[in-house]
Amino acid sequence: MHDLPPLARFGTRVATGLRDVTADPAALDSTGFWAVVADFEGRLTCARFDDVREEPVPAPVPGRWQGPAVGDWSSSLDRAAYTAGVRRIREHIAAGEVYQANLCRVLAAPVAPGADVDDLTALLARGNPAPYAGTIRLPEHGVETATASPELFLRRRGRVVESGPIKGTGRTEADLLEKDYAENVMIVDLVRNDIGRVCATGSVTVPDLCAVEKHPGLVHLVSTVRGELRDGAGWPELLDAAFPPGSVTGAPKSSALRILDALEPVPRGPYCGGIGWVDADRGTGELAVGIRTFWIDRTAGDQPLLRFGTGAGITWGSDPEAEWRETELKASRLLAVASGTYEVSGEGITT
């Protein structure tokens, strides 16, 4: 639906009145308010808006969002292929090539040509509220993305930068395993190294390690890594050092990326990339890791596809079937919201 006007929505902050679009990260250190989408594969879209205001996320309008039927979703990796991929990563770990790798699959289902990602945003706000919820609608630039991300990729306040990697997921805290804590610490080390490349020597700290956060339907282990940018470093240097996010790649990052490229049959797109905003006038910004993220793909023909990614971190201690179940757990609630099989009651969300 290309007659929909460009829009960005982050929590209660709404931006309209598109001024310009660029792929140059240096623009984020210029002026104005920018919406940012960085695909996992590296495509960067920065959109500057003139009108930024506060308003509540609209309530869902019954029947406005026509989501896919539950049975219409297909996966880039089926159960057999995914579990085989887990076993292959364990072989790479045994060979000393990698310590951890995040194996992902992309789900897809057809939606109506008139589907508006902002209508899905309203449903997600009720059905799966998230601290880094965001929507960017730039139909003429191939960006129609809605995220219910719980994970901070990069926050910037002046020269201070933070990242909040998530590793470890369960239905309850009791489900978290020793493997989850070990994996979180491993990724914290990677993020410390990434951020340390552009921060002043000695300024990188870990204020929180393996804190348990509760989210709708599951819990996560979350850590915080903080540093102070060195003189001369801005958004281009920060993104170059930290992208793609360590929590959704693996360690060492370069080895994990090579292994995942051979195992994952389709691009991740905005899934596992970065989605958020930058206020260049104030020197602030907040990019989420693009997990729990939907996007509309209109490149496949007359019938657009709604896409959604899910994945799990694989270590030597991984059980292939348990990792498949983790990808199902992460996807189940959000697919139900998008397909209209969750109902909002006075007590919250019920099936």
Domain harbouring 34, CATH code: 3.60.120.10
pLDDT at 343: 59
Amino acid 62: pLDDT: 86
In the chain, the amino acid numbered 72 is D
Residue 252 preceded by cis peptide, ω within 30: yes
Q: Are 73 and 335 in contact (CB under 8 A)?
A: yes
Which residue stretches of the chain are H helix?
Answer: 79-94, 117-127, 178-196, 235-242, 253-263, 320-339
- Residue 78: phi, psi to the nearest 5? -80, 180
Distances in Å between the Cα of 214 and the Cα atoms of 211, 226, 330, 332 are 10, 22, 13, 16
Flag whether 345 is in a domain: no
**Three-state DSSP state, 339:** helix
Between CA 157 and CA 237 the distance in angstroms is 16
Which residues are within 8 A (CB) of 350 and not within 5 positions of it... i.e. 6 or more apart? 342, 343
> In angstroms, rounded to a whole number, what is the distance separating the alpha carbons of residues 148 and 121?
8
| Residue 216: closest CA among 124, 275, 129, 274 | 129
Percent of residues in the chain assigned helix, strand, coil, to nearest 5: 30, 40, 35
166 within 8 A of 292, measured Cβ to Cβ: no
CB 26 within 8 A of CB 36: no
Q: Which two tokens stand for residue 218?
A: 């599951």
Q: What is the pLDDT of residue 346?
A: 35
Catalytic positions, written as ranges: 151, 167
With beta carbons less than 8 A apart as the criterion, state whether 116 and 49 touch: no
Residue 20: inside a domain, yes or no? yes
Residue 21 lies in a domain: yes
Helix axes 79-94, 320-339, angle to 10 degrees: 140
1 domain-assigned = no
| pLDDT value, residue 342 | 64
Asked if residue 347 is part of any domain, the answer here is no
Residue 348's pLDDT is: 34
Cα Rg of the chain (Å, integer):
19
pLDDT, residue 301, reads 78
Domains held by the chain: number: 1
Write down the pLDDT at residue 347. Answer: 31
Provide the pLDDT for residue 278: 98
Cβ-based burial of 188 (10 A; exposed 0-12, middle 13-18, buried ≥19): buried
Mean pLDDT in order along the chain per 10 residues (351 residues): 86 97 98 98 98 93 89 96 98 97 97 93 91 96 96 97 94 91 93 97 97 91 97 97 96 97 98 98 98 94 93 94 95 92 46 27
Residue reference for tokens 């310009």: 20
Nearest Cα to Cα of residue 25 among 193, 218, 236, 212 = 236
Range of the domain at 286: 7-340
